[in-house]
Amino acid sequence: MNFNITARDSASKARAGVLTTDHGTIQTPIFMPVGTAGSVKAVHIREIKEDVKAQIILGNTYHLYLRPGLDILKKAGGLHKFNGWNRPILTDSGGYQVYSLAGSRKIKEEGVVFQSHIDGSRHHFTPEGVMDIERAIGADIMMAFDECTPYPCEYQYAKKSMEMTHRWLQRCVDRVNTTDPLYGYQQSLFPIVQGSVYKDLRKISAETIASHGCDGNAIGGLSVGEPAEMMYEMTELVCGILPDDKPRYLMGVGTPANILEGIALGIDMFDCVMPTRNGRNGMLFTKNGIINIKNEKWNDNFDPIEVNGASFVDREYSKAYLRHLFRAGEILGPMIASQHNLAFYLWLVGEARQQIIDGTFYEWKNRAVKQLMQRL
RNA sequence: GGGGGGAUACCAGAGCGGUCAAAUGGGGCAGACUGUAAAUCUGUUGGCGAAGCCUUCGGAGGUUCGAAUCCUCCUCCCCCCA
C-alpha cells in the first residue's frame, strides 16, 4: 500500500492524496459506503461502481463471520469474488459491535465473547482470530480489533479500555506479521485510536498507534453521541500526532458537515451508515440541504429529486414520485434514496478534493457546511 | 310479507350507566437515525388555551344526579325465512 499527498490546503489541514492498493487506487479524501453483510444495503454493485462512483467499500468481520461464514468466503475466493466488487474493501473488525451489541457480549483480556444476534450461539473473538477472519474475507484494509467505548464513558473505564485496545493491537500486529494473505494480494492493518473524549488519553493513544508505523491509522470511539465540537476537538488533537504521510480514517463519520470539518482537520477517509440507513428511512442529503421526502410538502412536487444531482436517479425520478414510493412502502423508494445519498456523499468528497487542489477549500467548506445541513 | 342484527373519531373496530375525548389496528402528520440486530424505532392524530374548558359516539325526544351505553319514535344498512 502506498499513499501520496498531491495537494494541501493552506488555510486548513486538508489534503488531497492517492492511496494505492492491489485492487486499485483511491482518491482522497474519500467516503466509503458501508456494506456490512457483504452488501451495500438496497444498492446494486453496478450502481455502486458506475453511478455512485464509490472507490472502496466496507465489510464487517462480525457479520460476515456469522453469515455466510468463513468456509463460504474461502470457497468463493474472498469477499471481492463473492459480492462482485473488484475494487478495494476495508473490513471493520467487530470493534463497533462490542459497542452496538453491548447487551450480548462479554469483554475479557483475551477477547470478546459474543452471543450471536442471529441464533444466540457463543463466539470468541480474539485479536488473533479477528485477523484470521479478515484474512479470510480478503480485505485490502483490515481494521485492528478494538473496543469502541460508549458516550458518556467514565475516565477510568476509558483508560482501561484504551490500554486493552493497545495490547490487542500488538497482538493484531503480531498475527498479521506471522501470517500470509490467502488470495495473493497485499492486506494492510490499520490500528485505531481510542480514549473517549479525554485529551490526555487521546494523546497517549495516538502516540501508541503512531509508533506501530502502519500503512494507515484510524480514529475510533467518536460519533457515538458526543457533541460535534467534542468530536472535532479530539480529531484535531489526534491528527496532530498521527503521521502526516499516512492516511487518516475517521470511523463512522458522519453528516455532510462532519465530513467537511473532518477533512479540514486532516482526515482522508470516512465511512458512515447515514446515507444508506437514513436514505432507507426517507432522508435525502442534497447540495441545498436535507429533505425528508415523506413530508407532505413534497406531495405534488414534480421537480427532479435534485437538479444537477450526482446520480441518474436524481434526474429520472421526481420528489412527488419518490414520496409516493415511500408512502406506499415500495422497495424502490429506499433503493432510490440510498443510491441518491451515496452518490451525493461521493460527490461531496470529490468536490472537497477538487477545492483542495484549487486552493479554495476552506472558504468553500465554511459556506457548504451551513447550506448542506439546512432543512428543506 | 315475517323474523333478527346493526349504525362509534379519516377507515375498520372495542366499549354497553359514572374511572370515556372514547381501547386496538390501519391510514394521516411529524420526529429520530453517525466503524448497520434498522425497508427500523418514537411521538401525535375533535377544538382552543398551561392546569383546564368546550363540541362529539346515525337523527329527534325521554329516563337519570349522570347516557356512546337504558326507553320511544324516525332514517339508513345487513342477514335469515317466505
What ipTM describes this predicted complex?
0.94
pLDDT at A96: 98
A170/A163 Cα distance (integer angstroms)? 11
Q: For A84, left (φ over 0), alpha (ψ -120 to 50), or beta?
A: left
Q: How many CA atoms lie within 13 A of A350 on its CB side?
A: 11
Using C1' positions and the CA of A148, the closest nucleotide is: B35
Strands A248-250 and A89-92: unpaired
A17/A334 Cα distance (integer angstroms)? 33
A314/A343 Cα distance (integer angstroms)? 10
Is A119 an annotated catalytic residue? Answer: no
pLDDT at A2: 97
Give the CA A113 to C1' B5 distance in Å.
Answer: 62
A188: three-class secondary structure by DSSP: strand
**Which of strand B's nucleotides are less than 7 A from any protein C-beta?**
27-41
Using C1' positions and the CA of A165, the closest nucleotide is: B35
Radius of gyration of chain A (CA): 20
Which of the residues A51, A140, A268, A271 is marked catalytic?
A271
Is A92 an annotated catalytic residue? Answer: yes
Give the CA A321 to C1' B74 distance in Å.
Answer: 49
Query: pLDDT (tens digit, 0 to 9) for every residue of chain A, 376 residues total?
Result: 999 999 999 999 999 999 999 999 999 999 999 999 999 999 999 999 999 999 999 999 999 999 999 999 999 999 999 999 999 999 999 999 999 999 999 999 999 999 999 999 999 999 999 999 999 999 999 999 999 999 999 999 999 999 999 999 999 999 999 999 999 999 999 999 999 999 999 999 999 999 999 999 999 999 999 999 999 999 999 999 999 999 999 999 999 999 999 999 999 999 999 999 999 999 999 999 999 999 999 999 999 999 999 999 999 999 999 999 999 999 999 999 999 999 999 999 999 999 999 999 999 999 999 999 999 9
A366/A139 Cα distance (integer angstroms)? 35
Which of the residues A51, A92, A140, A314 is marked catalytic?
A92
Give the CA A80 to C1' B28 distance in Å.
Answer: 45
Beta-carbon count within 10 A of A346 CB: 23
Strands A112-115 and A122-125: antiparallel
For residues A250 and A219, the answer to whether their CB atoms sit within 8 Å is: yes
Instruction: Considering only CA atoms, name the residue closest to the C1' of nucleotide B28.
Output: A296
Long-range contact set of residues A307-313: C-beta below 8 Å, sequence gap at least 24: A309/A340, A309/A343, A309/A344, A310/A53, A310/A343, A310/A344, A310/A346, A310/A347, A311/A51, A311/A52, A311/A339, A311/A340, A311/A342, A311/A343, A311/A344, A312/A51, A313/A51, A313/A339, A313/A340, A313/A343
Beta-carbon count within 10 A of A202 CB: 26
